[in-house]
Structure 1
Amino acid sequence: MKKDEVPYGSDVSAGSYECADCGYEYSNQGKKSLPPCPDFDAISHPKRAWKILTGVGDAVQDPYPNGR
């Protein structure tokens, strides 16, 4: 089952992602770990995750395959 959101730090495939809390858009051109949102604030960003807009989301080597 494909996830709709992936937590900060997840290894993902190339694609576009949107902050699940504030809507900031991020484009990942290669497989790497997703960073925290640049507008991150612990109070206003409780989900600490990215919505998957394009791409397949989690890479096979995801360090958090079952979420955080």
Structure 2
Amino acid sequence: MKKHEVPYGSDVSAGSYECADCGHRYSNQSKTSLPPCPGFNPATHPKRAWNILTGAGDAPQDPYPNGR
């Protein structure tokens, strides 16, 4: 399931992602959970999510971390 904003901690496929708050780019080469943005600050990162640039995005078996 591909979503526009994928929350931190979501299990995702390999691909490229961009922080929904500050634009920092992140790429992962294997299936993994998305980390928080390296520049994360609660005051400046209210969305706490990544935009999907390439890849399949969020894993259907774990669409939201922490029961969101």
Q: TM-score, normalised by structure 2?
A: 0.89
Segments of structure 2 that go 5 or more residues without pairing to the other structure are none
Q: Which runs of 4+ in 1 moved over 6 A?
A: none
The letter of the residue matching 1:10 is S
Q: 1:29 aligns to what? A: 29
| Identity within the alignment, % | 81
1:4-19 to structure 2, matched below 5 A, reads 4-19=4-19
SS across alignment from 1:6: strand
Q: Distance in 1 between matches of 2:54 and 2:63?
A: 20
1:50-65 to structure 2, matched below 5 A, reads 50-62=50-62, 64=64
CA RMSD for the aligned pairs? 1.8
Segments of structure 1 that go 5 or more residues without pairing to the other structure are none
Q: TM-score, normalised by structure 1?
A: 0.89
The Cα of 1:57 is off from its aligned counterpart by 0.3
Q: Distance in 1 between matches of 2:29 and 2:39?
A: 20
Higher helix share: 2
- Map Cα deviations across residues 39-61 of structure 1 (whole Å, 9 max, x no partner): 00000000000000000101133
Task: Note if contact 1:31-1:59 (Cα within 8 Å) is conserved in structure 2.
Answer: no
The Cα of 1:21 is off from its aligned counterpart by 0.1
For these two proteins, the number of residue pairs brought into alignment is 67
